Amino acid sequence: MNKRLIKVMAVSSALSVILLYFRIQWSGSLMFVFLTWNLFLAWIPFLLAFALSEMNNNGTSRIKKLAVFSGWLLFFPNSPYILTDLFHLRLRSEIPIWFDLVLILSFAWNGLLLGYSSLMEIQKVLRTRLSVGIVNLFIAGLLVLCSFGIYLGRYPRYNSWDIITNPIRLFSDIFNMILDPMNNTRMVGVTFFFSVFLMVSYWTLNTMINHKNYENK
């Protein structure tokens, strides 16, 4: 487990919480407290990915690894989902809008980094068993599904728990959306453009990290 990365993300996340604390003290409002919950959900796939990496190295049974991977897959969309919290940015009398912008960006940045770090770890695990081409296709398809999950969370207001607590309604709505995309243009637009953004940004970050590692060799 990369303990240094976990410590860095913990410090970065703590900074976001400190900013939120200042906002609460400044305004007397708990308006953005939900950001801490969203950040907590982003930490789940991050920790699960590193747990799976540890399991992959110590010969844990396939059933346990599959269970952890399924949990990671279920919670992964929560990481980039925090980007949509920028929808809550408004001009408010009690707080300058620039402070709220910094606050929400801080949480969104941490959420995205937690998600991409976990995805990179999953990518390493998959490459021990699958070819590079298949893994890349899997990552691309996953980011498309993740973007669709972002739509489900932001607009129909589903969450990761609904796959267990409300599966019939969830899958019924998904089925109807897929069958009738022309009457669900928002779903198509959100899924498409978030997919493009997530793929390009993940590819960019991956390239930067690989380039840095190559230079250090």
**Of 101, 129, 157, the domain-final residue:** 129
Range of the domain at 202: 131-217
- Residue 184 structure tokens: 């669900």
| Whole-angstrom distance, CA of residue 113 vs CA of residue 181 | 31
Give CB contacts under 8 A, 24+ apart, made by 157-164: 160/41, 160/74, 160/75, 160/77, 160/78, 163/74
Say yes or no: 200 and 123 in one domain: no
pTM for the whole thing?
0.90
Structure letter (DSSP) for residue 87:
G
Which of 129, 163, 195 corresponds to the end of one domain?
Answer: 129
Q: Please state the domain count of the chain.
A: 2
**Domain identity same for 89 and 11:** yes
Domain identity same for 44 and 122: yes
User: Are 40 and 66 in the same domain?
Assistant: yes
Q: Which of 112, 129, 146 is the last residue of a domain?
A: 129
Tens digit of pLDDT per residue, the chain (217 long)?
578 899 999 999 999 999 999 999 999 999 999 999 999 999 999 999 999 999 988 877 889 999 999 999 999 999 999 999 999 998 887 899 999 999 999 999 999 999 999 999 999 999 988 999 999 999 999 999 999 999 999 999 998 888 888 899 999 999 999 999 889 999 999 999 999 999 999 999 989 887 666 566 5
151 and 215 in a single domain? The answer is yes
